[in-house]
Amino acid sequence: MHVMLLSCCVLVLLMPGPCFTAPTFMPEEESTPSPEPQVDLKLATDYLQQYYNLQKDPLGRIKRSGPSFTSKVKDMQIFFGLNATGVLDSDTLEVMRNPRCGVPDVEEYSDIQGTRWNKNVITYSIGRYTRDLPRSTVDSLIESAFSVWARASGLTFVSSHTRSADIMVEFVTHEHGDLYPFDGPRGTLAHAFGPGLGVGGDTHFDDDERWTAGETGFNLFVVAAHEFGHALGLKHSRNPGSLMYPTYTSLHPANLLSREDVANINALYSPVRGHPNYALRGSQMNPWVSGSLFPRRLQDKCAPDMTFDAVSTLGDATFFFKDRYLWIKHNAQYGIKEGPISNFMPKIETSIDAAFWVPRRSTAYLIHESMFWTVKGSLVKGKPRALSHFGFPAWVQDVDAAVHVPKTGRTFFFMHDIYWSYNENRKVMDFGYPKYISERFPGVNATINAAIHKEGFIYFFLGPQVYKYDYTQKHVVGVETANSWLGC
């Protein structure tokens, strides 16, 4: 059987100040002195090598300049929403010192993306317990951490007392048999393996740490819930409101999961069913909301809460995508064709997350997660290509919406609360992106599900509403319902 494992996740606390010793490597000589203390440079180098795939210098030198180091600093700054200067400023170093999970933030997931358990009933067993808490408390906290994911998905977790359980939970120290040794107090906190046979799903906690059920020490419930997300196949989120955000904090809301977390777990497993009382944190706390979590009968196009995943012109028609369903409204006709996407485009058997039309090429681009199809006329051309073709950084694995503005020759890609501008003439991403959506599109203050350009305006689909946006005057000039676009 083919075994697929996600990268091991390790929570690391990078300690500043006197806990750090001077670097043993000799810094590379430069024409100008380094403005950063060598201790900060060593911290940043180690951080970027572990989390952003900065290649080690074969001679063991530490370099603060050069395109590779600067670009990795920018990648890290973009991931955490900092000013992408490439400079090790105080804000950047502060984030680097935060306690965090050790799975890389920027990584090519092509070989492991979508890894999941091929079942919805998952067993777990606690092998060795911590000395810090009574066994009954540990049992309760671990069960509660699994329940966080159970309430948000179709998964069921069953406690077992055998060594053959799917997820083995262990409190261990130093070398413990998996090539990822712990390092004593206030260093590595925990790590987890992605779904699979053998060590797949296993989650280990460093018993040299102080595990608690409160705000002091390290909260076992919170760390366990994060690690179990990795054990189920989830990767890190850029959303500070997400449980899967890389850094640890002692402040936690009553409901750990954001809407993004719920959407992501349901993208891997069965949708939420039979949990009507599950409370999601509101959009005010978590602005990065990713779509509908509770599918309904798609053919009910006139439902008042109707939303679309993508909307795009394609020739003389407008295409409306929802899950794996499609409505086609021809501009010169009153009727609407509808049915599974594969009925109209046999090569496409997935949902479409974003779509846009470039009229001068008479070409549409349909995006699903990290891949896109090129469509000319009514034909899908060739095989899907990687989203990175447009020049996105490696951590971008999907977008929420896209729209092309012919007058400017730019295509805008929207993701959470940021967007990119792509120059279709030069076929490169414009410099200085991503930027915040609120800066360029004031009034558009929620996740954009879909977007389309028509008659000099951009229409943003935000849930069941559509904002008519004048991009020359930079303001919303009208609001209508999404289902009205289908004649409702």
Residues tagged active-site: 227
| Alpha-carbon gap, residue 260 to 353, rounded angstroms | 15
132 is in an annotated binding site: yes
Tokens 């991503």 sit at which residue? Answer: 434
204 is in an annotated binding site: yes
338 is in an annotated binding site: no
Largest separation between any pair of C-alpha atoms in the chain: 74
300 is in an annotated binding site: no
209 is in an annotated binding site: yes
Which of 128, 78, 76, 126 has the alpha carbon at shortest distance from 100? 76
323 is in an annotated binding site: no
174 is in an annotated binding site: no
101 is in an annotated binding site: yes
105 is in an annotated binding site: no
| Alpha-carbon gap, residue 449 to 38, rounded angstroms | 45
| Alpha-carbon gap, residue 402 to 392, rounded angstroms | 13
9 is in an annotated binding site: no
Residue 346, C-beta contacts closer than 8 angstroms, at least 6 positions apart:
none
316 is in an annotated binding site: no
Q: Does residue 241 come out as left (phi exceeding 0), alpha (psi in the -120 to 50 range) or beta?
A: alpha
Which of 58, 27, 18, 64 has the alpha carbon at shortest distance from 45? 64
Phi, psi of 221 (to 5 degrees): -60, -45
389 is in an annotated binding site: no
Question: For residue 27, what is the DSSP state?
Answer: B
Instruction: DSSP for 292-323, please give it.
Output: -SS---TT-TT-TT---SEEEEETTEEEEEET
96 is in an annotated binding site: no
353 is in an annotated binding site: yes
202 is in an annotated binding site: yes
Residue 408, C-beta contacts closer than 8 angstroms, at least 6 positions apart:
none
Q: At what angle do helices 220-231 and 135-151 cross, to 10 degrees?
A: 50
| Alpha-carbon gap, residue 442 to 142, rounded angstroms | 44
CB atoms within 10 A of CB 94: 12
40 is in an annotated binding site: no
How is residue 71 written in tokens?
A: 């670009």
178 is in an annotated binding site: yes
Q: Name residue 138's beta-bridge partners.
A: none
Annotated binding site for Ca(2+), which residues?
132, 166, 183-184, 200, 202, 206-207, 209, 309, 353, 355, 402
Q: Show binding-site residues for Zn(2+).
A: 101, 176, 178, 191, 204, 226, 230, 236, 244
Q: Which residues are annotated as a binding site?
A: 101, 132, 166, 176, 178, 183-184, 191, 200, 202, 204, 206-207, 209, 226, 230, 236, 244, 309, 353, 355, 402
